[in-house]
Chain A
């Protein structure tokens, strides 16, 4: 049995689980059966992905779908890498859900769709013709839509699901058109045929590029197509949020890579311009949004947008380098992008799992009302902290490794011949640096306000530690963050076949280097050793702890807290989320969000309190979506007249339309 057939049977097993979810969703056995089954299938899928990432591509054609086309499936190195992302993320989410799913009030709304969602994503990365690709893509979109709608009694969630459905339909339409253009008038919808066609017309290539940016970008959350993401991802149950943020956005990246790097043929340098600029903007704006957010899950969703921007930035660099024949640099940039996609799956899953445990423990996601949870939930807060460090790109964790590689490839950019790129790449590099710094600020805020300090409301005082399944998933993924951070060579070498297949070169082998360093280009330029940094920071921390605890004076002295002469410090006098982000809001907000603050003083003699009023605008929403909505509303208002005509008028319309078309036909000949 070939590898791709194994993947297909795994997806079939997931679909069977989805049916079982309908049957026994109500019974007590439903949750362990569905999530346990998904966990086993995902583990098997990880093994298959690991075995086939370095092997030859395997293909299979099933007699399904269009009669003259069949359903083509193919598992190559790129597909296997993304399959690994899906199955590892899916395994973690399933393990987490074994415990977390206990708190689900309406399991029948989640259990059938969860395995179907996993199956849809799995099938997307092995689909090898446009029809099966789009079918599986829709399966993924619709099942995740159902999951977003699982808590449908909340009006916000219904709205989120509606916007998500609109954006998903729009994205699929864009991809459909892109595939139609790639297939050409002959209608060669198999990817193999598209790969062999030379797409020479500039207009066609530009159209396909922009359509795939729209289609994949709307699913991945590129600015300004991101508006659905911070609404829909948090609306789902937390393990599904983790899958949507950590895994489904990667499937969207896969779609973009598959179309632009694989099907569209050798790139031109100008392809990278839109990708780079959109990626840079997305990275910077996503994290700024995240910094302003008070809802923990929504904050994480905005941070997903930032990371997607970083990945697209790397993809843009890879296009630019490859178009100029700099295969080594292209391999470096692409490796960095894919590595970051993998890392984001790991740490974003932990973060969403953590937000789920917080939600279960306190029933609250507004971080202004949380605080002090580290005492009540020590293990999950440790895992959350590691993920925060990783996403803030601190060494020796994995986020640093991939972003460091990204910066290394940006540093090669002065060798590019085009002046446009010479100027653009440092600019987006600055945006990337800004995003990395702001991300650190954002997660200091997220962790500090949620877990540190004193409880800001009564809900946090009854909080309790999460169950052991959830903890196992969180700690396991946090450990993976450390492992891939300390030994980045493992992932880099694993990625080499996929990268080689797309840009025709690979990064130099890393695992054979002494001391497990990674050297992206040459020894003379730069190198990084995660292990060394890990050992150094661990040993110095242990040493410091030893010095503090053993060598310092043992005399204990108790004294009152220094309260600045202002006795009775309550929890409200702590730093709050709003106060932490206020300086950044003042610096960037006046441009990006047109935010303003106004102090409203009561009139003299009035007893009311003074108020500070903050306003903030979502520019993407106001400048892009509201005009579209207004246009649609205007047009439907006009067309509404047509709904109340007489039968004879309707017949008359049919008649006139028919005669008009016939006339057009007669004149056109």
Chain B
């Protein structure tokens, strides 16, 4: 049973990393949002499995939060935003997909290389989870760095946060309060960013952050 539950947890966390990779090569906003929803569903599955094997019922609340907010509410809201801004047909110029993928692979290797030796003495499940969570986090950051559209930067941020939640649930004994407060801070960040997006758009007629630089007279 131990090895089975380990394998399943490993698979679900690995799936999350895989979905992160999928995110990297989406160049249309709608499909990117779909992948974000999928990302949240993978996270929910992974957390649910953790809740089952750790017998930690409070983790189901996290699952509900992930499914409700991250898989449904936020993608829907972003979709409406994109639609209202009329940028759903825009094809985003992504910095060389191949290069980004290579960097992402290197990041996954790096996080394995860093995390596995550090945590030799801890629970193997938590080890794998944390290493994979770190890769999700790094890929999310990479996404934010390589994209120019503010909406895809939000998506990168959300996936980064999913990585944090994965790490938190993998480690046993994480208090619920911390998770809930993380979830709420993400929600608030989302609202703030959303408002800013509309403000930026009202003023500059675009959500491409290069416009802001042009406005500042830098380029």
Is A646 within 8 A of B118, CB to CB? no
CA distance A644 to B212 in the complex (A): 12
Q: Which of B107, B209, B216 sits near A659, CB closer than 8 Å? A: B107
Is B218 within 8 A of A646, CB to CB? yes
User: What are the residues of chain A within 8 A of B218 when measuring CB–CB?
Assistant: 644, 646
CA distance A510 to B5 in the complex (A): 86
The stretch of A200-208, A369-377, A631-639, A647-655 that contacts the partner chain: A647-655
Supposing A646-B218, A669-B118 touch, asked if A651 and B145 sit within 8 A by C-beta, the answer is: yes
Of listed B110, B138, B145, residue having the most chain A CB within 10 A: B145
Is A652 within 8 A of B111, CB to CB? no
Is B213 within 8 A of A655, CB to CB? no
User: What are the residues of chain B within 8 A of A669 when measuring CB–CB?
Assistant: 117-118
Is A651 within 8 A of B114, CB to CB? no
CA distance A648 to B145 in the complex (A): 6
Q: Which of A644, A647, A658, A665 sits near B141, CB closer than 8 Å? A: A658
CA distance A659 to B145 in the complex (A): 13
Is B209 within 8 A of A666, CB to CB? no
Q: Which of B107, B113, B144, B209 sits near A646, CB closer than 8 Å? A: B209
Minimal Cβ-Cβ distance residue in B for A667 = B113
User: What are the residues of chain B within 8 A of A458 when measuring CB–CB?
Assistant: none
CA distance A646 to B215 in the complex (A): 11
Is B145 within 8 A of A655, CB to CB? yes
Q: Which of B138, B141, B210 sits near A651, CB closer than 8 Å? A: B141
Is A659 within 8 A of B110, CB to CB? yes
Is B110 within 8 A of A646, CB to CB? no
A372 CB → nearest B CB, Å:
65
The A-contacting residues of B in range 117-152, CB under 8 angstroms, are: 117-118, 138, 141-142, 144-145, 148
Minimal Cβ-Cβ distance residue in B for A653 = B145
Is A665 within 8 A of B107, CB to CB? no
Assess whether A662 is interfacial by the CB under 8 Å rule. Answer: yes
User: What are the residues of chain A within 8 A of B107 when measuring CB–CB?
Assistant: 659
Is B110 within 8 A of A666, CB to CB? yes
Assess whether A1 is interfacial by the CB under 8 Å rule. Answer: no
Is B141 within 8 A of A654, CB to CB? yes
Assess whether A610 is interfacial by the CB under 8 Å rule. Answer: no
Minimal Cβ-Cβ distance residue in B for A646 = B213
A661 CB → nearest B CB, Å:
9
The B-contacting residues of A in range 313-351, CB under 8 angstroms, are: none
B144 CB → nearest A CB, Å:
5
CA distance A522 to B67 in the complex (A): 91
User: What are the residues of chain B within 8 A of A646 when measuring CB–CB?
Assistant: 209-210, 212-213, 218
CA distance A235 to B158 in the complex (A): 55
Assess whether A564 is interfacial by the CB under 8 Å rule. Answer: no
Minimal Cβ-Cβ distance residue in A for B217 = A644
Supposing A646-B213, A651-B144, A651-B145 touch, asked if A659 and B138 sit within 8 A by C-beta, the answer is: yes
Contact string against A for B residues 177-219, beta-carbon threshold 8 Å, 1 for contact and 0 otherwise? 0000000000000000000000000000000011011001010
Is B138 within 8 A of A666, CB to CB? no
B185 CB → nearest A CB, Å:
18
Assess whether A663 is interfacial by the CB under 8 Å rule. Answer: yes
Minimal Cβ-Cβ distance residue in A for B144 = A651
Q: Which of A647, A654, A655, A663 sits near B110, CB closer than 8 Å? A: A663
Minimal Cβ-Cβ distance residue in A for B141 = A655
B141 CB → nearest A CB, Å:
5
Q: Which of B113, B114, B209 sits near A647, CB closer than 8 Å? A: B209
CA distance A659 to B144 in the complex (A): 14
User: What are the residues of chain B within 8 A of A651 when measuring CB–CB?
Assistant: 141, 144-145
B214 CB → nearest A CB, Å:
10
A646 CB → nearest B CB, Å:
5
The interface residues of chain A, by DSSP majority, are classed as: helix
Is B212 within 8 A of A647, CB to CB? yes
CA distance A455 to B145 in the complex (A): 75
User: What are the residues of chain B within 8 A of A644 when measuring CB–CB?
Assistant: 216, 218
Is B212 within 8 A of A658, CB to CB? no
Is B117 within 8 A of A655, CB to CB? no
Is A666 within 8 A of B145, CB to CB? no
Is A666 within 8 A of B114, CB to CB? yes
Minimal Cβ-Cβ distance residue in B for A663 = B110
Q: Which of A648, A652, A665 sits near B148, CB closer than 8 Å? A: A648
Of listed A644, A646, A669, residue having the most chain B CB within 10 A: A646
Minimal Cβ-Cβ distance residue in B for A649 = B145
Minimal Cβ-Cβ distance residue in B for A652 = B145
CA distance A646 to B216 in the complex (A): 10
User: What are the residues of chain B within 8 A of A655 when measuring CB–CB?
Assistant: 138, 141-142, 144-145
User: What are the residues of chain A within 8 A of B111 when measuring CB–CB?
Assistant: 662
CA distance A281 to B209 in the complex (A): 60
User: What are the residues of chain A within 8 A of B213 when measuring CB–CB?
Assistant: 646
Contact string against B for A residues 96-109, beta-carbon threshold 8 Å, 1 for contact and 0 otherwise? 00000000000000
CA distance A669 to B144 in the complex (A): 29
Is B209 within 8 A of A658, CB to CB? no
A492 CB → nearest B CB, Å:
63
A607 CB → nearest B CB, Å:
56
A111 CB → nearest B CB, Å:
43
CA distance A654 to B118 in the complex (A): 22
User: What are the residues of chain A within 8 A of B113 when measuring CB–CB?
Assistant: 666
Is A658 within 8 A of B145, CB to CB? no
CA distance A646 to B210 in the complex (A): 8
Is B209 within 8 A of A648, CB to CB? yes
Contact string against A for B residues 29-57, beta-carbon threshold 8 Å, 1 for contact and 0 otherwise? 00000000000000000000000000000
User: What are the residues of chain A within 8 A of B216 when measuring CB–CB?
Assistant: 644
Contact string against A for B residues 101-118, beta-carbon threshold 8 Å, 1 for contact and 0 otherwise? 000000100110110011
User: What are the residues of chain B within 8 A of A663 when measuring CB–CB?
Assistant: 110
CA distance A134 to B178 in the complex (A): 34
A342 CB → nearest B CB, Å:
57
Contact string against A for B residues 140-178, beta-carbon threshold 8 Å, 1 for contact and 0 otherwise? 011011001000000000000000000000000000000
A436 CB → nearest B CB, Å:
64
CA distance A648 to B147 in the complex (A): 8
CA distance A648 to B138 in the complex (A): 15
Is A658 within 8 A of B138, CB to CB? yes
Minimal Cβ-Cβ distance residue in A for B147 = A648
Minimal Cβ-Cβ distance residue in B for A656 = B145
CA distance A665 to B115 in the complex (A): 9
Minimal Cβ-Cβ distance residue in A for B107 = A659
CA distance A654 to B141 in the complex (A): 9
CA distance A648 to B219 in the complex (A): 14
Of listed B117, B141, B148, residue having the most chain A CB within 10 A: B141
User: What are the residues of chain A within 8 A of B142 when measuring CB–CB?
Assistant: 655
B153 CB → nearest A CB, Å:
8
Is B114 within 8 A of A665, CB to CB? yes
The B-contacting residues of A in range 164-207, CB under 8 angstroms, are: none
Minimal Cβ-Cβ distance residue in A for B113 = A666
A584 CB → nearest B CB, Å:
59
Minimal Cβ-Cβ distance residue in A for B150 = A647
User: What are the residues of chain B within 8 A of A652 when measuring CB–CB?
Assistant: 145
CA distance A659 to B114 in the complex (A): 11
The A-contacting residues of B in range 75-120, CB under 8 angstroms, are: 107, 110-111, 113-114, 117-118
- Can you identify 6 A-B contacts, CB atoms within 8 angstroms? A647-B212, A651-B141, A654-B141, A659-B138, A662-B114, A666-B110
**Given A648-B148, A665-B114, 8 new contacts (CB under 8 A):** A651-B141, A651-B144, A652-B145, A655-B141, A662-B114, A665-B118, A666-B113, A666-B117
Nearest first, the 3 closest Cβ-Cβ pairs linking A and B are A666-B113, A666-B114, A652-B145
